A and B are shown apart, each in its own frame.
Chain A
């Protein structure tokens, strides 16, 4: 099927023609140049924060990834794989080698080594900062090939363009966001592309490639569970709709066995592929495929259908019985573990709120609002159903896959904000199909010109051709004007999309989170670099073996930048330890000092936004500390801190709230502080009230450091008094 090249403007066409190229070569040149521009665009649009601030790592989790990558480049792979980190989760420590996904670190270290081999002496931090944009550019290339596989080259090009700027993907892959998702989305799309290619060609080589793609995905992100459940579901749908073929058998079996084996090489994943309930669907479909194709083979060999029916009955009953018994035994004896909380809360969104407060407290795990969908997808939101329509019109193995990927990922994106990222490639691909098919139909209308019926008969490619042939006699100029108007409309929409995406990237997704910016009184930009100021103070003014207690949000940053041991950090693997810290923060100072002495705490770090109006501080997170602490220690009761169900910090607040450790540490000496013109001293700008307890005395702690804008406050735990 020949693809109609999209007509470029006339001077370019003359220039291209002047090289005396044939049409096919012209088309190739246009395609390659578009892809090159898209590649560069995807990289450039993610560089806002590097240009505005500096080349630094953002957020919280990337600091852990940066620290491990640093360790990997300095100590080599063997030490990294067997690393036991005694500087976090004091006194428990953390087996880092066995509890992380190494894909991102190994990738960055590899790029670093290649650059050093070519004698580019870059620092590992620069490599880490720019890894995500680099892989975003690679994702656009994969999206092009995937679109080409599903529909045609036009759809591939549009998919590449759409995914290059889509805010849903940019949000987790800006320069500086050195997190697993930056590499994982590339691996996800790559695996899916290789698998669809394997199903289309039935070749063992492509299936082997998709197994390697799956291995890369497993090494990069915990979201690989999506792949290992979507692909068996897809195989099942193909079996049920009767589209099964020998190619499907070859593709799935090779990918499943080799992929499972490769995945088990990652220590963090371990034996989950044969022991965890989340991976059982793949195994079930594997056995189902064997039975199914065996029966198909026997049916092919036997000429008598009656005999075959008897054989069929025996085999199916045996297989179902064996399968049910095995599954039942596995689940009852507990050998096959049930779905873990993280993934179960995707199926039942209310589960986490009641049972696992630590999962419910993460802001990224909240259900998605419509505004988030519109913000992250813009026009793709209504192009998605249009694309689904086109896919259903031309069903093939590949389009069934993309439809399933799109629908399942959209459901999960609705359950959890963070999963919009997983839905973005599907939405971009399906929307690309809609855009490409529509533009193609419209330009075909335009190019039909006055040739009338003859043109229609020679180059028939879509059903609109037949329709246009019929209407051509009646209202020919009207058709063409309508097509031109619609094309302009499409161009307008797409340019609005590009503008929106750039605006969103610039305003919303390019903030480093560790450096805050605000507009000053005269419109000048004010930078708050308090976090780094505090961490460097810790690094330079405390003994090297000091232990710092803070809420788990800041753990990774303290170990990476402050280079000090922390009690809890963002890994959140031990709920009781976190609850202990939560209990300490919510208790009176006398009880808290007992807990802190038992944990050998030397310094306590709190984040306070009352002076600057920064709203993500510890006082606003305090109720979560109470809930998590209360989940393990019933002595902490949430209603003690509320007044009539309301959370207050002013004079009318609960007495336990006014005297707990967190309140005291945040508001120590704040009662004398004038924060806003015309307001009394001790006016908390983040809560918008005057605080209740201004006269705070600390007995067991003393203030060690407060940053210039009071955002981070560090206190030293005083040693016990001498007995005399």
Chain B
């Protein structure tokens, strides 16, 4: 009983701690996180849809899922480069990081459009 209560207490403390730490992050990072969450959610919807109707035009399925995963991953890279707490990227201007992000997304979506079929 005691262990159950302590583990439940642990989980709650963990949750609260995470929530309070996250609330302290700057707004621009939270926007990027929202974008990442949206992309992953879209990918999940596509996977569920594929599981129900089958994967026949496999290239279309792959291009859909990979576009979501790809843009999520690129957004995470952007977040890393823009985050003030990362010492490695302190001389990288955020405009350059955003320009790289846009370029990579452009290439990603051009390839996706070719691959959709």
Contact = CB atoms under 8 A, between A and B. Distances in A.
Interface of A: 202-205, 207-208, 211, 245-247, 249-250, 253-254, 257-258, 260-262, 264-265, 271, 274, 298, 300-304, 307, 310-311
Contacts of B81: 202, 204, 250
B62 A264 contact: yes
A291 to B, nearest CB: 13
A302 B18 contact: yes
B108 A258 contact: yes
A204 B14 contact: no
Given A250-B81, A261-B111, A307-B10, A302 B17 contact: yes
B13 interface: yes
A208 B107 contact: yes
Contacts of B80: 246, 249-250
B66 A247 contact: no
Interface in B15-70: 17-18, 21-22, 58-59, 62-63, 66, 69-70
Contacts of B18: 298, 301-302
Interface in B67-112: 69-70, 73-74, 76-78, 80-81, 85-86, 88-89, 92, 97, 100-101, 103-104, 107-108, 111-112
A261 B22 contact: no
B42 to A, nearest CB: 15
B14 A245 contact: no
Given A245-B88, A257-B69, 13 more contacts: A202-B89, A204-B81, A253-B74, A253-B76, A257-B66, A257-B108, A258-B107, A258-B108, A261-B70, A261-B108, A262-B111, A301-B21, A307-B13
Contact of B88 (A202, A211, A261): A202
25 contacts: A202-B89, A202-B92, A204-B74, A205-B103, A208-B107, A249-B80, A253-B74, A254-B73, A257-B66, A257-B73, A257-B108, A258-B111, A260-B66, A261-B66, A261-B111, A264-B115, A265-B111, A265-B114, A271-B59, A301-B18, A301-B22, A302-B17, A303-B17, A304-B13, A311-B14
A208 B111 contact: no
Contacts of A249: 76-77, 80
Contacts of A211: 107
A310 B10 contact: yes
Nearest to B25: A301
**Residue in A204, A246, A303, A307 with the greatest tally of chain B CB atoms within 10 Å:** A204
A310 B103 CA distance: 40
A390 B100 CA distance: 36
Contacts of B66: 257, 260-261
A25 B22 CA distance: 53
A304 B100 contact: no
A311 B15 CA distance: 10
Contact of B115 (A207, A247, A265, A300): A265
Nearest to B11: A310
B112 to A, nearest CB: 7
B21 A302 contact: yes
B117 to A, nearest CB: 11
Given A257-B69, A274-B62, A302-B21, A208 B13 contact: no
Contact of B74 (A254, A264, A265, A307): A254
A311 B97 CA distance: 32
Given A249-B77, A258-B107, A204 B101 contact: yes
B63 to A, nearest CB: 8
A246 B88 contact: yes
**Residue in B62, B73, B100, B111 with the greatest tally of chain A CB atoms within 10 Å:** B73
Contacts of A264: 59, 62, 115
Nearest to B112: A261
B51 to A, nearest CB: 13
A208 B77 contact: no
A204 B108 contact: no
A85 B17 CA distance: 66
Contacts of A310: 10-11, 14
**Residue in A257, A260, A303 with the greatest tally of chain B CB atoms within 10 Å:** A257
Contacts of B11: 310
B20 to A, nearest CB: 9
B9 to A, nearest CB: 11
A491 B98 CA distance: 50
Contacts of B14: 302, 307, 310-311
B17 to A, nearest CB: 6
A257 B43 CA distance: 14
A23 B74 CA distance: 43
Contacts of B59: 264, 271
Contacts of A274: 62
A202 to B, nearest CB: 6
Nearest to A286: B73
B30 to A, nearest CB: 13
Contacts of A262: 111
Closest 6 interchain pairs by CB? A204-B100, A301-B21, A257-B70, A250-B77, A307-B14, A253-B73
Contact of B104 (A208, A246, A298, A304): A208
Contacts of A258: 70, 104, 107-108, 111
A262 B104 CA distance: 12
A257 B66 CA distance: 8
A246 B90 CA distance: 12
A304 B101 CA distance: 34
B100 A203 contact: yes
Nearest to A270: B59
Contacts of B111: 258, 261-262, 265
A250 B63 CA distance: 21
A301 B14 CA distance: 11
Contacts of A304: 13, 17
Contacts of A261: 63, 66, 70, 108, 111-112, 115
Contacts of A204: 74, 77-78, 81, 97, 100-101, 103-104
A21 B15 CA distance: 66
A211 B106 CA distance: 14
A265 B86 CA distance: 36
A245 B87 CA distance: 10
B17 A307 contact: yes
A311 B89 CA distance: 28
Contacts of A254: 73-74, 77, 104
B77 to A, nearest CB: 4
